[in-house]
Each structure stands twice: as structure tokens, then as C-alpha cells.
Structure 1
Amino acid sequence: MNDNLIIEYQYFGSINYTNALFQFSNIEFEVYESFQKMSFRNRMVVAGSNGLVHLSVPLEKGRDQKQPISDVKISYSLPWQQQHWRTIESCYNRSPFYEFYRDGLENIFTSKPVYLIDLNRDIRNWLWKVLKIPSSYAETSSYQTPPIQDHTDFRNRWVPKNFQLDAFKIRYRQVFEDRIGFQPNLSILDLLFCMGPSAHSLLKGNILPI
């Protein structure tokens, strides 16, 4: 199997997305693409008492911009950080490990990076720390179209329209499972809040189909 993965940055990416980071020795994050709407680059999905909750980071010039991902700016005209944080608190304040991760997450939601890519880099750094991801990472030096020699390309493998259709083998007890059933492939935050440090072994032990 290839040791090199190329993948986009995501906003608290899904569990399968995060699982892929454990499966390869070297991760390259795509930083030379154009922004793509309807993706997880600025979205995540969590589970509430009434079903799935979709959270989106608002962007300047709207979601239809076609500029390079590195130039995409976050809009702070509305208090979206406060809204996202309140939603996370409402969904997970009764989960076993909410308090365990609260402070580190709150730092992310109170900072105000100008660019979306810098927000996602902060999230990457936090995930590498709390999940103890064993892979090394770097960023791309140019944009390459697939197939890319010596790389597995997972760019856009998981998008909002299909993220729950992919194979999913990791099972764990979710906060509102008794109300809405088990929801696969939510944001990695769901797994962390429910399973805590044992999320590392669950992700490390699960092999995604290539």
C-alpha cells in the first residue's frame, strides 16, 4: 500500500477522514486548489437530540467564490463562532469526555484567524496533539491532477452529499443514539467527546478501503 496520502483540509473533518490520517505514513494537505463549495472545507456535521446538525463557517464573498483556497477569508459579520460553540455544548455537554477537551476547543473558537486555511491548520495541530496521530504531515507545493505518482488521492472523497454512504466500521455509544439511532461518520468531535483518548486505538485499528 502507498505510504503517501494527499487530502484537503477540513473543518473538524469526519471520522473516516480522520481515520485516513492514521493509515498513511506521510500526509500532504492540498493548499493549491481552488475553493470548492458544498464541501467539508468549511463545514462539519454533529448529532443533536433531533437529528443531524450541519455547521458552516461563513466566508467573505460567499460560498461561490472561485479563488485559491489559501485566499479564502472568514466572515465575522455574524457571531458564528458563538453559535457553533453553543451548538457543540448543547449536543455534547453530557458526553463522557466533553470537559476533557473543552478548554483546547474553546481556544480555537475564540481565536479569529483571517483565512479559512489558517483555521483548519489550527484544527489540524489540535487533532495531531489530542489524537496522537502517528503520521508526518506537510503541504503541497503545487496543484496536481490525479493520478499522482506514489500518492493515494483522497481529495473530495468525503463531501456533505455522500459522507454517510461510505463504509463505516467504527461503532461506539453516541449521546443521542437512543433517540435518533447510530449516526455514522460524523465530525471527529463526536468520537472524541464520546470515547476520549480511546479514539486513538479505534482509528489506528480500523483500515479504510482504498
Structure 2
Amino acid sequence: MTEQSENKTLIIESQYFPPICFYKTLIEADILKIERYEHYQKVSFRNRCYIAGPNGKILLSVPLSKGKNQRTIMKDVRISNVENWQGLHWKTLTSAYRRSPWFEYFENDLEGLYEKKFDFLLDWNMACLEWANKVLGISKEILLTDGFEKSYDPAAGILDKRDHFVPGQDQEGLPTYAQVFGERTGFFPNLSILDLLFCEGKRGLELLK
């Protein structure tokens, strides 16, 4: 058996600042492979993430040039930059987390990411993933698929979680922690990894294990 086949590979779709369940699964893998040859699917984490606000969960959605009903290959899905959605998302994040323990620590670096323009959703998502991995202290080899395969052999050490995590679906075994508005709204599990980072900082990695 080769060293490559002994490694555990997680294959999953590209997501915008993925939810905590994504990262809970990622830390158990050696290699992360992002699916880029699937068709875009609406109502997924591909172009949306959820954060905690004073009145409940807040949806941040990346606008797409052909809308949410397109059936475009993921690597070709274009972002609509007609409006300053990045500025709006950043303003929302600032409003929701400026009183969190770790927001100030990450603020300048993350603001710089939101000031960069991206034409393709996959490129934006990859930049978000790499940023979150860096600040969490996660070091994984990240690959992109070379073509679409309907299924993968688990015996080959491949964990296929494409379309496994969807908005609104309960996930078990996730960490709990103090959220900014938790006393008012109650705890919201499985928000974007940004929520865990702003509330717990680098301790977030320990909570995921």
C-alpha cells in the first residue's frame, strides 16, 4: 500500500466560510479535495454562510451573475459584483462581532480579504478556506478535483461528503461555546467557522477535536 492510499482524503464541495460541521470533519482527514466539476446547486453552503446576530441567525449570500437557479459547472460560476456585496458582508460581520473577544485580533487581515475582488465563486471560497485554515492552525494538503466522479471507494481512504452538509440540517457532536448574543437568543450550533473564530480564537481548533 502506498503512502498516498494510507492517507484519509475528504472530498467535499466548495463552501463560503464553511460551517463548523465541515471543519469537524476536516480535522479527521489528511488531505482535502474540493469538488470543482459538479454542477452548482442552490440552497447550499456554496455561496452562503450563517452568522449570529442580536435577533437570530443572519444569512450572508454571495450574489451570482446567472442567479441561484443556474446549472453551471462549479469552477465556472461567476460572482455578480454589480453591487458591493463584500462591503455589505463586512459591515454585517463588524456589526455582529465587534464586541466578540477575538474580532479585533482578526479584523485587519480579514478586512483585507473582503477588499479583494473575485470573479469566480470557487476562487473566493478557496481564499476564505485558506484564510480560516491559517488562523485556526489547520495545515492540510488541499487539492482540486480533475474531473467529476459520481462516487468514490471508501476502501481507498476517500470520505465523500459532497452534499452531506446542508443548511437547516441538524448535526451531532458539534462544540458549544459562548456566543456574542447567546444570553439573548440562545445558542446557535453549526454557524460559519467565523463565529467560532471570533468567539474562541485559536482555541477553536481544540473545540473541534
Q: For residues 113 and 185 of structure 1, what CA distance do their matches in structure 2 show? A: 26
Counterparts of 1:70 and 1:130, CA distance in 2: 25
- Corresponding residue of 2:138: 133
- 2:87 maps to 82
Amino acid in structure 2 at the alignment position of 1:157: H
Task: Find the partner of 1:156 among 147, 159, 163.
Answer: 163
**Structure 2 contact 137–202 (Cα < 8 Å) conserved:** no
Q: Is the 1:22–1:134 contact (alpha carbons within 8 Å) kept by the matching residues of 2?
A: no
Rounded to whole Å, the distance in 2 between the matches of 1:134 and 1:83 is: 30
CA contact (8 A) 2:47 2:61 kept: yes
Residues 110-121 of structure 1 mapped to structure 2, 5 A cutoff: 110-121=115-126
Task: Name the aligned partner's letter for residue 3 of structure 1.
Answer: K
Give 1:169 shift: 3.2
Q: Is the 8 A contact 2:32 2:141 kept in 1?
A: yes
- Is the 8 Å Cα contact of residues 168 and 185 (structure 1) preserved in structure 2? no
TM-score normalized with structure 1 length: 0.92
Structure 1 gaps of 5+ residues are 206-210
TM-score if structure 2 supplies the norm length?
0.92
- 1:20 deviation in Å? 1.4
CA contact (8 A) 1:96 1:193 kept: yes
Where 1:23 maps in the other structure, the secondary structure is: coil
Q: Distance in 1 between matches of 2:59 and 2:78?
A: 20
Q: Aligned equivalents of 1:38 and 1:132: distance in 2? A: 29
- Identity, % of aligned positions: 42
Structure 1 segment 49-64 matched on structure 2, within 5 A: 49-64=54-69
Please say if 1:43 is aligned against 2:48. yes
Check conservation: 2:132, 2:193, Cα contact below 8 A: no
RMSD between aligned residues: 1.4
Is this contact kept in 2: 1:46–1:187, CA < 8 A? yes
- Structure 2: how far apart are the matches of 1:100 and 1:35? 34
How many corresponding residue pairs?
A: 202
Q: 1:190 & 1:202 partners in 2: Cα distance?
A: 13
Equivalent position to 2:96, from 91, 97, 116: 91
Q: Is the contact made by 1:174 and 1:182 (CA closer than 8 Å) also made in structure 2? A: yes
2:67 counterpart of 1:72: no
How far did 1:44 drift? 0.3
Q: Which residue is 1:194 aligned to?
A: 199
Q: Do the aligned residues in 2 keep the contact of 1:28 with 1:139 (CA within 8 Å)?
A: yes
CA positional deviation for 1:2: 7.2
Structure 2 residue 189 is matched with structure 1 residue 184: yes
